[in-house]
């Protein structure tokens, strides 16, 4: 998208439509933004201009206040814009007014008073313990790939590792006697994952079988071509075993990581320990699982407590 250069910086510099055009010219010429980004800025600022009061004629940039901007954002919300769309509009408005300020077109920047809307935090999907039991029982030892699939599922749930960490495992990273696995997480950071009894048993059975059929003692988990298994292959085998277990909800290998954390907290693990086991740099990343745990307790309370359900609450006494 090419915007025609004009003498915007000197003629009617305080006029909003021409100021917007000058800003877009700056984005194209100086910042070299992509056509897609340029169209997004243009659309966002056009929406702002449309929502301004009709009595602002002509619309001069130094007349705009934080109230004008908030009213515009409120109108966007009323028209159905979600938090992500509102956040993008705010970013566009901030960039525009910052440019006006830097170019001496305004002395007070009203956009500094805008705050990004909080995105609704989505609770992670997880499997209940009985569903995990059903899933882990689906691989059969006498089926092709059965021992490998069993070891994969047990390791994912036992360590709470990411699927990328799982497929990156080498045999030298495992210590089945100690029940630990060395995991390489984000930013090449290493941590220790715990291997429970079922995971150790499944890994030993798979590695014994693997040594009989393969000379590749590097990667732990191999595909049919005797090379390292991919993350996509793990997702496919998980889908297969979910169907066998009768679990028809949408799940991914990360669902087992969410299940790992949720079940630990439900059974009394402290948040700091779960943070370390997950390899989270910040505790805030782990705290979302407390919401999952509380939600689970709330459902349990509603099912089990005599007054947990709305319809069983005692009627208020009448005067």
Q: Which of 70, 191, 266, 280 is catalytic?
A: 280
Which segments of the chain are extended strands (E)? 174-175, 180-184, 190-194
Query: d(Cα 255, Cα 276) in Å, to the nearest integer?
Result: 18
Cβ-proximal residues to 120 (8 Å cutoff; 6+ apart), any chain: 83
- How many CB atoms neighbour CB 144 within 10 A? 9
Q: Which of 241, 257, 258, 263 is catalytic?
A: 257
Q: Return the residue matching tokens 């301004």.
A: 52
Cβ-proximal residues to 263 (8 Å cutoff; 6+ apart), any chain: 126, 129, 132
Q: Which of 162, 184, 241, 258 is catalytic?
A: 162
Cβ-proximal residues to 77 (8 Å cutoff; 6+ apart), any chain: 86
Q: Cα 260–299–302 angle (5° rounding)?
A: 155
Q: Cβ-count burial of 261 within 10 angstroms (0-12 exposed, 13-18 middle, 19+ buried)?
A: buried
Q: Cα 248–253–174 angle (5° rounding)?
A: 140
Catalytic residue status for 280: yes
Catalytic residue status for 289: yes
Query: d(Cα 203, Cα 138) in Å, to the nearest integer?
Result: 16
Q: Which of 68, 94, 98, 254 is catalytic?
A: 254
Q: CA 105 → CA 43, 58, 81, 109, distances in Å? A: 22, 16, 30, 10
Catalytic residue status for 257: yes
Q: Which of 39, 140, 186, 291 is catalytic?
A: 186
- How many CB atoms neighbour CB 297 within 10 A? 11
As annotated, the active-site residues are: 162, 186, 254, 257, 280, 289
């Amino acid at each position: 998208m090419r915007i025609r250069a004009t003498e915007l910086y000197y003629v009617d510099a305080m006029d909003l439509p021409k100021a917007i055009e000058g800003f877009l010219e700056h984005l194209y010429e100086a910042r070299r933004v992509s056509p897609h980004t340029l169209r997004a800025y243009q659309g966002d600022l056009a929406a702002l201009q449309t929502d301004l009061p009709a009595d602002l004629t002509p619309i001069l940039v130094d007349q705009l206040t934080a109230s004008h901007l908030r009213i515009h954002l409120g109108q966007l919300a009323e028209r159905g814009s979600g938090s992500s769309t509102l956040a993008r509009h705010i970013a566009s408005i901030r960039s525009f007014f910052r440019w006006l300020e830097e170019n001496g077109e305004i002395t007070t920047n009203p956009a500094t008073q805008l705050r990004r809307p909080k995105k609704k935090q989505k609770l992670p999907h997880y499997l209940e313990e009985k569903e995990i039991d059903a899933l882990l029982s689906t691989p059969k030892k006498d089926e092709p790939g059965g021992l490998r699939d069993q070891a994969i599922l047990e390791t994912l749930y036992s360590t709470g590792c990411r699927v990328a960490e799982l497929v990156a495992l080498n045999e030298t990273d495992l210590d089945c006697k100690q029940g630990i696995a060395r995991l390489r997480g984000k930013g090449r950071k290493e941590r220790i994952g715990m291997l429970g009894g079922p995971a150790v048993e499944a890994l030993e059975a798979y590695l014994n079988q693997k040594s009989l059929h393969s000379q590749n003692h590097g990667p732990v988990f191999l595909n049919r071509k005797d090379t390292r298994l991919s993350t996509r292959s793990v997702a496919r085998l998980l889908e297969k075993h979910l169907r066998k277990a009768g679990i028809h909800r949408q799940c991914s290998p990360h669902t087992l990581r969410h299940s790992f954390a949720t079940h630990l907290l439900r059974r009394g693990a402290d948040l700091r320990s779960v943070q370390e086991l997950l390899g989270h740099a910040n505790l805030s990343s782990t705290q979302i699982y407390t919401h999952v745990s509380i939600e689970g307790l709330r459902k349990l309370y509603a099912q089990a407590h005599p007054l947990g359900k709305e319809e069983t609450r005692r009627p208020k006494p009448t005067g």
